[in-house]
């Protein structure tokens, strides 16, 4: 499944990332919608959910996230909705880890 989030806040360290494998962080923007896919092995075999997917986080609850590969690139987002398939462009599509 896929979860859409609207980014609320980003640390300045995301925009400063220059390593080739982590340049995707430069494309994150406050107010943009991003899609995050929940797939094995991040998906729990018991619950069939990914940790941090915002399950039961309706009503504008602010959730925290951190980028793999640069723990200084972090921020907050709000869950928009859960979908079976992701619908964001590739630059705004991520996976849970």
Q: What does the pLDDT read at residue 30?
A: 94
Q: Is residue 9 part of a domain?
A: yes
Question: Is the distance from CB of 73 to CB of 24 less than 8 angstroms?
Answer: no
Residue 59 resides in a domain: yes
Q: Is residue 97 part of a domain?
A: no
The boundaries of the domain holding residue 48 are 1-90
40 within domain boundaries:
yes
**Are the beta carbons of 80 and 32 closer than 8 angstroms?**
no
Positions of the chain with pLDDT lower than 70, given as ranges: 59
Kindly state whether residue 18 falls inside one of the protein's structural domains: yes
Please, are residues 10 and 70 in contact by the beta-carbon 8 Å criterion?
no
Cα atoms in the Cβ-side hemisphere of radius 13 Å centred on 22? 14
The pLDDT of residue 42? 93
Q: What is the pLDDT of residue 75?
A: 95
In a domain, 34, yes or no: yes
In eight-state DSSP terms, residue 22 is: G
Structural domains of the chain, count: 1
* Residue 55 pLDDT: 87
Q: Does 68 fall in a domain? A: yes
């Amino acid at each position: 499944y896929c979860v859409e989030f609207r980014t609320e806040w980003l640390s300045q360290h995301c925009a400063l990332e220059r390593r080739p494998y982590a340049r995707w962080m430069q494309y994150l923007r406050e107010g943009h919608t991003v899609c995050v896919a929940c797939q094995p092995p991040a998906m729990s075999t018991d619950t069939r959910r990914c940790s941090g997917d915002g399950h039961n986080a309706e009503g504008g609850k602010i959730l925290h996230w951190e980028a793999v590969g640069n723990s200084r690139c972090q921020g907050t987002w709000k869950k928009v909705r859960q979908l079976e398939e992701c619908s964001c462009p590739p630059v705004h599509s991520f996976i849970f880890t």
